[in-house]
Every structure is written in C-alpha cells, then in structure tokens.
Structure 1
Amino acid sequence: MERLLEVNDLQVSFQVRDGEVQAVRDVSFHVKKGEAVGIVGESGCGKSVTAQSIMKLIPSPPAVFKGGEILFNGQNLLRYSEKEMQKVRGKEIGMIFQDPMTSLNPTLTIGKQITESLIKHQGMSQKEADLRAIEMLKLVGIPNPDKRLGQYPHEFSGGMRQRAMIAIALACNPSLLIADEPTTALDVTIQAQILRLMKDLQQTLDTSIIMITHDLGVVAELCDRVVVMYAGKVVEEGTIEEIFTRPKHPYTRGLLRSVPRLDQPKDEDLIPIFGTPPDLIKPPVGCAFADRCPEAMKVCKAIDPTFYETSDTQKARCWLLDPMAQEVKSS
C-alpha cells in the first residue's frame, strides 16, 4: 500500500525563558493510504505537537523546527510557505481539534464555518456550498441539517459540536484526517457514536486517519497501527494486535496495565506507572523512561537505545531487546 505521509527524524523545540524545550525528538512514522494510525502516550509526550507540526499550525517563534522532514504525497511540507500551506489545510489535510467549543468560532454559524473552505478550495458558489454543507451535516448524523446550518455553536450539544467539527474537516474530502483527542470531552455513549462515525467515514471516503489520544480503547476501536510516544520520542510501533497482545517496551506494557479490562478480575488493582516524565529542557542522556522503568539496567541510563525490530511491522526502542540482554535473561 502506498505511503501518503512520511515523518522522518522530526525535531521541534520551543524557546522559553529557562531554555529550549525539546518537545519532539527525532520522531519518525508513516501513514499509508486508507490506513488509520494511532499516536498514544501521556500528556506532554509530544503527540499533539507532532500533529500540529504536520499542519504547520505551531507559531514560530517560540517553536523552532530543528530538523527532519514531513513528506505528504512526496512533498516536504516543512519547506512550504504559509501561503502554500493554506492550500493544503482543509483541502488535502483536515484536522479535528481537541475541544470543539473553543475550536469553533462562536460568532459564525455552523453553515458559514463549513462553506468557508468549500468556497475557497473548491470554488463553489454560496448556494452550491450550502447544499454541500447540508449533505455533510447529514453524513455525520446531525438531524434537520438544513435548519442546523443557520445555527451557532452554542445551540449545539457537545456531541453535535464534535460532529460539526468532523463535517468541517471532511467538507473538501481530504486524503488525510488528523484527529487530536476528538472524544476527550464527551461521555462514553457519545464517544462510541463518534468513533463509529469516523470508522464509517474512513471506509466510505477512503480517508487516512491519524488519531492522537491517550485512550488505548479509542485506538483499539479505530486504528490499524499504533505509534507509542514518550518524552518526545517514538518508543514503540506495531499493529493493533502486536501492541495489545505482545508489547515489547516497558512503557507500553505500563500503559496497558493501567487501563481497566473486561477480562480483569474485580479484586485486581490497576497498576499505575510511578514517577513523572523527564524535563525536556534537559533530557536524560540514556533512555528517557529509565528512571520509571522496573526493568532498567545500567546501560539504560548511560546510552539511548536504538530501535530493535521484532517483526516486519513491530519495533521498539529498548535495551531489553538487545541480543546480549536476551542472553543474560536466559542464563
């Protein structure tokens, strides 16, 4: 399957009063056409910064792109000017933001916010754009779409606002949809409806999806592959089956142990990941997870591990996968 997006060795920092926050450190991953990829990790691990870097929505300064490339259909978006990016945003890459109440413009009707990109990118007349907007609202499951077109965000419920955000993001039928924590503020019933909707739209429109979330249940429901991030780096990558049944990195195993499961005994406690993430103004020399890892060795704190491939589709950045470590464990 052809790759639609390739992020290679991306490095993004923020200049702050105390120094340079290395928010994204040599991040690499790819998304194939029609594929859904989940990026998971704790708050502050760099997943949202990575997503916004793809859209070039991070103000610079204070952000500084230190290196790497973001290839979309073979073109490096980091070399695009703001004017060139405006032609990409909405038309080729759509984004669903974390909080629809703050992302939607409270002074504009929902219809106006959907038709704006259609008029700009598709060259539609207002009448054509209105018809398309009604079609999109109907597609995302909003009742009475012709009436809702003239309403404002405050007249929508939380779930309907999120559906409206999806309609805006998909109005121009982009080939890539980035969803940044799209279900965080919603109750579980609405979450399930939104995920089912996104899954149906992906199959209907053949849209590639990047799902940014800390909720592993959301990833299991929607995604084909998972990228696990910690302290600004990718620490593991694999298919849904590999990550959920055969995780290789201690951090991934820690995330899975801290999530309740239906097959878990009622009297069995969840096991949290103790400690806090490192300060990215002064990142550790070795593995960033070493201070919190129950399986850490001396080498973990001294040298940052490289990736070890455990299958054609799974790899993890951990010294425990080194052949020498395997020999010690087996002896």
Structure 2
Amino acid sequence: MKSTPNAGRTLLDVKNLSVSFDVYGGEVQAVRDVSLRIKEGEAVAIVGESGSGKSVTAQTIMRLIQTPPGRIKQGQVLLDGQDLLTLSEKDMQKVRGNKIGMIFQDPMTSLNPTMTVGKQIMEGLLQHQKLSGEEAKKRVIELLRTVGIPNPETRLKQYPHQFSGGMRQRVVIAIALACNPSLLIADEPTTALDVTIQAQILSLMKDLQQKMKTSIILITHDLGIVADICDRVIVMYAGQVVETGTKREIFNNPQHPYTKGLLKSLPRLDQAKDEPLIPIFGTPPDLIKPPEGCGFCSRCDEAMRICETVVPEFTEISGTQAVRCWLQHPYAKRAGSAGGKEASV
C-alpha cells in the first residue's frame, strides 16, 4: 500500500497492530492486524462506522489505552523510526502534546472546568518547551488568535463554560497545536457541533495544516466531511483496514463493497428528490468471535464461499490504492465463472 506520490518522508508507520479488550464475555478483538503509513505534511482520513476500530487505533498510537482491560497484542507504532510501544510512560509523556497532538471528540469533557483556558493551553508549553510564564502567556494569546478566538487577552482568563461549543473546540485545537507537533490526530472533532460550526472547524484545520505543514489523521464515520481536507482515505471495518487510496480514488472508484455501501448511503446534490438512500443492511460482526474470513461477508451481496473462511489478501489496484477483498483478487474473474456464491479463489 503506497501513499500519495508527491508526499514527503514517512512520519508515522503502524505495522501489524492488534489490540484487544478483556471483558466478562471474552476477548474483544477491537483492532486486528492494522498497518498504515502517514507521510510528512499529509492529511489522511480514517473512516468507518462505529466499532470499526478507528478511535482505538488512534488511542493506541497515543498510548492512551487503559491496561487492563486493554491489551496491545502485537505490532509497532514507529514515529520518526522510534517505536512508541516500547517507551516507558515517562518517555511517552514527552511525546504526547509535543510530537503528537490530539483533538478529542467532545471539547467539554476534554477541558478541565476548574481551570482557565489560558492555564490549560499553557501547561504543555511549560512542560515541553520550558518557557517562562510571560513567554508562555504571549504564545497562548498567539494561539488563541490563530484559531480564531476574538479578544484573546481577555478570553484566556475565562473558563470553558464561558465559551460556546465551537469556541471550546477551537481551544482544544489550540492546546493540540501549542508545541507545534509533527502529527495531529483529530478524533471526530466535529461530531458534537452543528453543521455551520463543523464547516468552520474543518476549514480552520485545513488552513493550519497548510500553514504549519502538520500531518493530520482525521478520524470520522462520515465520508462527506473528508472530501475537502484530506489527501488519502483509509477505510476500516470490523477492526481491519479494508481499503486505502487517494481521495479521488475512494470517491470515484471504490473497490470494496463496504466502501461502495458507505458512498451509496450519502445524500448527493445531483440526486433526484424521489431517489432513496441505500443503507447497508445487517449489523457489524461480534468482535468477541470475529468471522474466520472477511468481516463484511454476512452483509455483502457478492460474497463467495472463500469469503466465509479465509481473510482476504490486499490487492493493489494502483500505485496508491489497495483493497482487502477477494472480488478484486487476480483469480476472481476465473472464479466468477464457477457461479456466484459457489465460486472460490
């Protein structure tokens, strides 16, 4: 799976990552053998429905998985060649907020209601950049102005409850960007906001990425919001990466039945008024006992016998697009002549 041809060096390289949670019912295999690469200065979206493993992947990169019940079973998370999974918690604290910043889904729960926003932004600056109090205050004012908060000299003395939802999310972005991280992870940053504020936040992230050359991982379940901000799209389902490609490839030439289903369920401007949206019928598999083969098999109208028992290999469609689906395997056409559901590779 290759990345955009004009992208820079590899900043983040996740290799064969598997993460499980031990619960009363058994072992939930939340992330299963996930590999992905993020290039320097690149914006990548990780999409998929709830429970697909998007947030767990991001939290594992940040080493925020609570252990127990969480367990990193295997894999590497290489940031600039350094495996974050081998670092001590003390060393990892030097990475969080410094080399990697994270924007969480709900700004109200990620901000401390008992501290002014200025102090919360200042924390990372004092810890990682060793600035004096006056220097840190100047940087806070600069950051608040950068993320579009008016009267920053006054606002830095206020508390989170004195800000609107959109303004609180801007504060969270300011905290994430305080130390100029090389990687910014945004975990559904617009879910709790109305449509107008969503557009403003996404536009802000795009502008900051272009100005600061920060790599961005945007995690979302909505393909519609990634079209303007991201270079590449990674599609996850049932804890696995099922397709990856450039934005143009995913939107114009999707290869996996799940990706096609996501796109068909989105409203379009050119859609006729009486044309219904097509949902993806069925439910995701139980990851306490995941399927032996393709996780999407039970919901796929084109499934073959092999899909039920063998995990699909990745097939390269182009230099930048790859899909985990037996339908795209080189032998699939030959198998198709054997008769639809009964076909095997």
TM, length-normalised to structure 1? 0.99
In 1, the alpha carbon distance for the partners of 2:93 and 2:330 equals 48
Match for 1:300: what amino acid?
A: C
Check if 1:211 corresponds to 2:218. Answer: yes
Give runs of aligned pairs for residues 54-93 of structure 1, distance below 5 A. 54-93=61-100
Matched residues in 2 for 1:114 and 1:87: separation?
16
Q: Distance in 1 between matches of 2:45 and 2:168?
A: 23
What does residue 209 of structure 2 align with?
A: 202
Residue 290 of structure 2: aligned partner = 283
Residue identity matched to 1:7 = V
2:321 counterpart residue number: 314
1:215 positional shift: 1.1
SS of 1:119's partner is helix
Q: For the aligned residues, what is the CA RMSD?
A: 0.9
For residues 35 and 322 of structure 1, the distance between their equivalents in structure 2, rounded to whole angstroms, comes to: 29
Alignment-mate amino acid for residue 25 of structure 2: D
SS, match of residue 209 in structure 1: strand
Counterparts in 2 of 1:4-43, with a 5 A limit? 4-43=11-50
SS at match of 2:124: helix
Aligned-partner SS, 1:108: coil
In structure 2, the partner of 1:152 is: 159
| Residues 257-272 of structure 1 aligned to structure 2 (within 5 Å) | 257-272=264-279
- Give the aligned partner of residue 252 of structure 1: 259
Corresponding position of 1:169:
176
Correspondence list, 1:133-144, <5 A: 133-144=140-151
Aligned-partner SS, 1:222? coil
Question: Distance between the aligned counterparts of 1:262 and 1:327, measured in 2?
Answer: 38
1:51 counterpart = 2:58: yes
Partner of 1:88, secondary structure, is coil
Counterparts of 1:228 and 1:293 in 2: how far apart (Å)? 16
Q: Which runs of 5+ in 2 are unaligned?
A: 1-7, 339-345
Offset, 1:328? 4.6
The residue that corresponds to 1:190 in the other structure is 197
Q: Residues 208-247 of structure 1 correspond to what in structure 2 (within 5 A)?
A: 208-247=215-254
- Distance in 1 (CA, whole Å) between partners of 2:337 and 2:91 is 56
Look up the match of 2:122: 115
- Distance, in Å, in 1 between the alignment partners of 2:309 and 2:123 is 53
State the alpha-carbon separation in 2 of the partners of residues 152 and 199 from structure 1. 27
- Per-residue displacement from partner, 1:241-277 (whole Å, max 9, x unpaired)? 0000000000000000001111111111000000000
Structure 2 counterpart SS, 1:164: helix
TM-score, structure 2 as length reference: 0.95
- The code of the aligned residue for 1:111 comes to G
Alpha-carbon separation, structure 1, partners of 2:162 and 2:232: 37
Classify the secondary structure of the residue corresponding to 1:29.
strand
Partner of 2:303: 296
Residue matched to 1:3: 10
Q: Deviations over 1:139-170 (max 9, x none)?
A: 00000001000000000000000000000000
Runs of 5+ consecutive residues of structure 1 not aligned to the other structure: none
C-alpha distance in structure 2 between counterparts of 1:260 and 1:81, whole Å: 46
The amino acid that maps onto 1:84 is D
Q: Secondary structure at the match of 1:263?
A: coil
1:329 shift after superposition: 4.5
Aligned-pair identity in percent equals: 69
- What is the CA distance between 1:330 and its match in structure 2? 7.4
Q: What's the CA shift for 1:324?
A: 2.3
1:94 counterpart residue number: 101
What secondary structure sits across from 2:66 in the alignment?
Answer: coil
Could you list the structure 1 runs, at least 4 aligned residues long, displaced by more than 3 angstroms after superposition.
327-331
Residue deviations 1:220-244, cap 9 Å, x none?
1210000000000000000000000
Deviations along 1:68-121, whole A, 9 cap, x unmatched?
100000000000110001000001000000000101010110000000000010
